[in-house]
A and B are shown apart, each in its own frame.
Chain A
Amino acid sequence: SAVISQKPSRDICQRGTSLTIQCQVDSQVTMMFWYRQQPGQSLTLIATANQGSEATYESGFVIDKFPISRPNLTFSTLTVSNMSPEDSSIYLCSVPLGQGEYFGPGTRLTVT
């Protein structure tokens, strides 16, 4: 398994602002994933972040709204831009490693 940390663990933000979420892994990984989990719902993949190339976004998610950085093999950031209350969710990063995919603890975002 891997040790995955996220910052911040939670935040309350105002409508129209942006928040950058950090994900740090204790080992080098080629792929990192960003998911959204809306209240009481399952996980939905936002994008795949590959080091050295642009992130690949899933249907319904765009780079302008969720820009992603992947400066090295152990770190990635997800920015939630121009937030609205509908963006209130838990945002999780994950990495594939060995025989599974492992998740960070999540960032709980509330937009007022």
Chain B
Amino acid sequence: GAVVSQHPSWVICKSGTSVKIECRSLDFQATTMFWYRQFPKQSLMLMATSNEGSKATYEQGVEKDKFLINHASLTLSTLTVTSAHPEDSSFYICSASGGQGTYEQYFGPGTRLTVT
């Protein structure tokens, strides 16, 4: 199956700083990437959908200026959490679509963010 990587796998940052999470499709071209957020013992919550070369589409209630998403190439999307606060601590997962099957999405392993 298609492989999606995320970096870093975990990160601790201080309140007020920004942190960037990378999502890469390693062996296929991802025309669309999705960014999810997951709190403990809860389901995945879609934050935004990004298509290569265009602006991301954010879900209702997600702050565009706080969660900056860039999908500059067919293999890389980045999520930047700006001016992070403790309430931004969460598990962030990306997924990519556009591989062998048009219906499938391939998940990255996730990034655990802790803001102190």
- A and B: bona fide binding partners: no
Give A contacts to B, CB under 8 Å: none
Give B contacts to A, CB under 8 Å: none
